[in-house]
Structure 1
Amino acid sequence: MPFAIYVLGLAVFAQGTSEFMLSGLGPDIASDLNVSLPAAGALTSAFAVGMIVGAPLMALLSMRWPQRRALLVFLTAFLAVHVVGALTTNFAVLLATRVVGALANAGFLAVGLATATGMVSPGAKGRATSALLGGVTLACVAGVPAGALLGQVWGWRSAFWAVALVSVPALFAIVRSVPRSEAVKAVKAVEAPGARGELRALRGPRLLVTLGLGMLVNAATFCTFTYLTPLITHVSGIGQPWVPAVLALFGLGSFAGVTVAGRWSDARPMLVLVPGGLALLVGWSLLSMGAHSAVAAVVLVLVQGTLSFGVGSTLITRALYEAAEAPALGGAFATAALNVGAAVGPALGGLTLGAGLGYRSPVWVSALLVALAIVTAGVAAPAYRAATAAR
Structure 2
Amino acid sequence: MHHLLLTLALAFGGAAPAPAQEPPAEERAGEVLVESYKDALKTWKQDYRLAFGREEREALDRRHPAVAFLSRFEARGEAGDGKALLWATRLVDDARRSAAERKALKRRSYTRLVAEYGGRPWFREVLLAVDEDRTDLGWETAADLLSQVAERGVTSGLRAEALWRWGGLLIDTEDPPQRAAGLAIWERLFAEHPRTVQGARARAEYDLEKHLGIGSVARDFEATDLQGRTFHLSDYRGQVVVLDFWGFWCPTCRRALPHLVRLAERHADEPFAILGVNSDTDLESVRSQVKGQHVTWRNAFDGGPKGPLARAWRVRSFPSVYVLDHEGRIRARNVHGEALDRKVADLLAELDEKP
TM over 0.5: no
TM-score, scaled relative to structure 2: 0.27
More strand by share: 2
TM-score, scaled relative to structure 1: 0.26
Higher relative contact order (CA 8 A, sep 6+): 1
More helix by share: 1
